[in-house]
Chain A
Amino acid sequence: MANSTTPASNLPIGEQAVRLKQMANEIRFSAMTMTNHAGLGHTGGDLSSSDILATLYFGGILQIDPAEPTRPERDRFIMSKGHCSGAFYSTLSFKGFFPRTQLSTYMDPLSLLNGHPDRNKLPGVEANTGPLGHGLPIAVGCALAARMRGQGWRTFVLTGDGELNEGSNWEAAMTAQQYALDNLVVIVDRNRLQQGDFTEKIIRMDPMASKWIAFGFAVEEVDGHDHAALLEVFSRLPLKSGKPTCIVANTIKGKGVSFAENKPAWHHGVPTREQLALAAAELGVEISQ
């Protein structure tokens, strides 16, 4: 596992990618262990977003310090798809924001690890998300605050693609454009599945990139499971001066676990003990204890 105090960006990109892949798979297996424990959760989206989270937190992208989680000049990361809390909590814990032992309390009575994150309970959580379409407006507010305060930190927000059915996202996108917020980075976890079915069967979201271009963003599509490609695009932020950035990360829901990949039922499917063992083998992760 990467040491959270070592800037991973000092390594050659290929070596970093190898380490990030291992970290992402640790996050995947941790999230699945948590949803297995709780008997609840959103495993499919945890798995689609793990590579993005690993790259942001362990690829030297986010300027954050778990020892000082509220430092005013920190980069902000907002997990707008708050239902994927298994992957998010695992990432924060591995980064050092809170002890790993807390992960095993996921959704237990009175646990600090709600099904959806609460910023007043856990360090590293910037916004209370869960109802969809909340993260991007908050992120726009953060980006505006950085500008008002004359500070150079950046705001990142990870949204789902089904989440983008919510109109509040597009209200916020218009504000980001109007105020030329080039300190804002929207990452879309484009896994093409939402709760009920494939996104295009529910509400067509293609062409995704064109929508963001039309809303005034500088846009790039990337393979959301290719750590080297993610590192490369994150190294060029903002993609265009004077414009907010949108990175459409094409992903596979349930990625890395064959029985969950691209299956609508795994939106909130929960693995059995046997499936956990299968997943560990496929992910190359050792089951501890």
Chain B
Amino acid sequence: MSTLPAQPETVAAEKLYDCRDAYSQALEAMAAADPRVCAIVSDSVSSTKLKPFSQKFPERFVNVGIAEQNMVGVGAGLANSGMVPYVCAASCFITARAMEQVKVDLGYAKGNVRLCGMSSGMAYGELGPTHHSIEDVAWTRIIPNLAVVVPADPIETAAVMHYSLNHQGPMFLRISRMPVRAVHTEDFQFTLGKANTLRLGNDITLMANGVMVSRALDAAESLALLGIHARVVNMSSMSPIDAEAVLDAARTTRGIVTAEEALASGGLGGAVAEILAVHHPARMRILGVPGVFAPTGSAEFLLEHFGLTALGIHSAALELLGER
């Protein structure tokens, strides 16, 4: 009986991360270094992974109870009084429930608050559309003055958190709980408004953010087996968006596939289409949830259900390239 060859390291099971760990560890480090940093939760201590923060910095930790409108207003008051508040709750509630406070107290008034929308997208898959947050990017990215970032992995999550400390103006950080692998190296530097090209290629461009970035990289890998060189761009910065990266993709590749764990309208695909329609019309495929409330099922099941997979991106790219 022959022995199986030892499994090479390149196919070893990849380590997966919950980006909430990177965010909460970064927040603790920032609070230790800067007395302005405080955290506000709405009875969401465990889901925001802030138990250690609440124990280390009890005087800078506020639990307002289940009251998201109040929570965002309290954040604005803290910010207006010189603190740097991180207002943390499930993304579905912190956006929809408190949208007028987000618009007025943060966007319009330039309240220096960081909204941390946890467990965004379809991470709470089984709980159903009440707890899905597939509208949040579309809602927030159109609010003037509000920066919107959808980090792809724990390294970018930590980098965005550290960047946010001295950012002037409100931010919405969309932080997933779905396991993702690292797509950046430890030396990654986050720049607001800058897209990051993770893989070079001039046949087609795959643009993604959040949990879809690693899937786009996998799609590029499988397209390469067919001789198709796909560029992969991490569009974590949704507002401001890197219009130049979009236009460069339109000029130098044969089309753009966008992929987001969100509604297909109004989010990444919509933002890219707005730029292209005005400045450089190009062929696109927009992958996301197609204008429906998602059914119930695990997050992985729902991503499969809507084709938000490496295979789905691969197929959309082939379809787009075959059009001409």
Chain B residues near A128 (CB, 8 Å)? 104-105, 108-109
Of the residues A126, A147, A167, A175, contact of B80 by C-beta under 8 Å: A126
B contact face: mostly helix, strand, loop, or mixed:
helix
In the complex, B121 has a CB within 8 A of chain A: no
In the complex, A110 has a CB within 8 A of chain B: no
A175 contacts B70, CB within 8 Å?
yes
B63 to chain A: closest residue by CB: A178
A-B contact pairs, 6 of them (CB 8 A): A136-B73, A137-B70, A140-B70, A140-B74, A171-B67, A174-B64
Which residues from 100 to 123 on chain A have a C-beta closer than 8 Å to any C-beta of chain B? 118-120
B101-118 CB mask vs A (1 if < 8 Å, else 0) is 100110011100000000
Which residues from 66 to 101 on chain B have a C-beta closer than 8 Å to any C-beta of chain A? 67, 69-83, 85, 100-101
Bound-complex Cα distance A131 to B98 (A): 13
Chain B residues near A147 (CB, 8 Å)? 59
A146 to chain B: closest residue by CB: B81
A contact face: mostly helix, strand, loop, or mixed:
helix
A175 contacts B74, CB within 8 Å?
yes
Bound-complex Cα distance A37 to B322 (A): 65
Bound-complex Cα distance A142 to B105 (A): 13
Given contacts A127-B105, A134-B105, A148-B59, contact A172 B73 (CB under 8 A): yes
Tell which of B69, B72, B74 has the most Cβ of chain A within 10 Å: B74
In the complex, B264 has a CB within 8 A of chain A: no
Tell which of B64, B74, B77, B109 has the most Cβ of chain A within 10 Å: B77
In the complex, A213 has a CB within 8 A of chain B: no
Chain B residues near A133 (CB, 8 Å)? 69
Of the residues B67, B69, B74, B109, contact of A141 by C-beta under 8 Å: B74
- Shortest Cβ distance from A159 into chain B, in angstroms? 13
B100 contacts A141, CB within 8 Å?
no
In the complex, A14 has a CB within 8 A of chain B: no
Chain A residues near B83 (CB, 8 Å)? 145, 148-149
A146-161 CB mask vs B (1 if < 8 Å, else 0) is 1111000001000000
Given contacts A119-B109, A175-B67, contact A137 B78 (CB under 8 A): no
B81 contacts A179, CB within 8 Å?
no
What total count of A-B pairs have CB within 8 Å?
114
In the complex, B65 has a CB within 8 A of chain A: yes
Which residues from 168 to 210 on chain A have a C-beta closer than 8 Å to any C-beta of chain B? 168, 171-172, 174-175, 178-179
Count residues on chain A whose CB falls below 8 Å from chain B CBs.
Answer: 35
- Given known contacts A127-B105, A137-B101, A149-B83, what 8 new A-B pairs fall within 8 Å (CB)? A119-B109, A137-B71, A141-B76, A141-B77, A144-B77, A172-B73, A174-B65, A175-B70
On B, residues with C-beta under 8 Å from A are: 38, 59-60, 62, 64-65, 67, 69-83, 85, 100-101, 104-105, 108-110
Given contacts A119-B109, A128-B104, contact A175 B65 (CB under 8 A): yes
B104 contacts A134, CB within 8 Å?
yes
B82 contacts A149, CB within 8 Å?
yes
Bound-complex Cα distance A118 to B67 (A): 25
Bound-complex Cα distance A72 to B69 (A): 26
Bound-complex Cα distance A141 to B79 (A): 8
A76 contacts B73, CB within 8 Å?
no
B101 contacts A142, CB within 8 Å?
no
A140 contacts B81, CB within 8 Å?
no
